Amino acid sequence: MSRSTILIIEDNALQAKKTRTVLESAGYEVLLAETGATGFKLAKTKPVDLVLLDMVLPDFSGDQICKWLKRDETTQSIPVFMLTAKDTLEDKVAGLQVGADDYIPKPFSEKELLARIQAGLRVKLRQDELRGVKNKLEDRLKDVVEMASTDVGTGLTNRRHFNDLLGKEFSRAQRFSEPLSCLMLDIDHFKKINDTYGHPAGDSVLFEIAALLRQEVRTHEVVARYGGEEFVVLLPKTTAKEAMIPAARICKNIAGHHYKGLPPDRVVTISIGIASLPDPLITNPEVLVQCADFALYKAKGGGRNRIEISVGAELGKHKI
């Protein structure tokens, strides 16, 4: 088990030497700084477990150094004990108000100093343990949240999480009068792939297409598996005309890709439907998706391996 390290920030050489001797005799590692700036740097760069900080220093006051230590993320968990010849109630309150964990007046008893240090280190140990547990719980929570929002088969955003993101993007587009495009994608004749080459090959095709789609989206865009062999892409600040460019690129890349488990000459194609804001008849996120789905329906009916755009007015005239 490693020894605890105590940092002494003290400009009085005689006092520093005396305190260092006491601490080393008790089994502690000791670091020494004669100025506040040097002490602050040591606390940030060395594995310090506790700081003994003199109130009067040649460059900065002990109060100022204590404030820096307690505000810095790398040092704020280190206990700071203020050492001073001042022993009034006001001085003690002032030291504690700037973040000090304890206040020890000079001259101090060696036994009292060691006892207070031991108590401070025990508190720090418990806090470190609690912080470790908290970090583990936060990591687990992140994993759970990610699992709940991720499609297992492709690693993309799942439908449920996509709907949450869609609602936020739709509201933002309406609030700022910005365009928003939704692309619905479906793999052409996917059932034939499963029937001819087996479901493992079909699963591989889904996974590889997901990877290709992920390469096409930018950080502020969303790509998700909508269900079965359907995918959806959400493009903020993008009109229907502008959305045709990435849609055409997606069609080309998917058709030109060689898929594991399929013969080299087996071409996989997709059909894409696009719907966009602004559109006076697309009044909510669900209608935007329905409109994109209708456009996909048109692309399928038009021979597949193509892109179609639909507007809200078409939904009232046709049933998908």
Identify the active-site residue in 229, 242, 308, 314.
229
Structure tokens at 73: 């993320």
What span, in angstroms and rounded, lies between the C-alpha atoms of 155 and 312? Answer: 31
b/e per residue 146-157 (b: at least 16 CB within 10 A): eeebbbeebebb
Residue 229 known to be catalytic: yes
Rounded distance between C-alpha atoms, residue 77 and residue 39, angstroms: 16
Look-up: residue for tokens 């890709």?
A: 257
Q: Are 313 and 259 in contact (CB under 8 A)?
A: no
Sheet with 50-54, side-by-side order of all strands: 29-33, 5-9, 50-54, 80-84, 102-105
- Residue 150's H or E segment, with its range, is none
CB 308 within 8 A of CB 273: yes
CA of residue 135 relative to chain centroid, distance: 13
From first CA to last CA, the distance across the chain in angstroms is 70
The residues annotated as belonging to the active site are 229
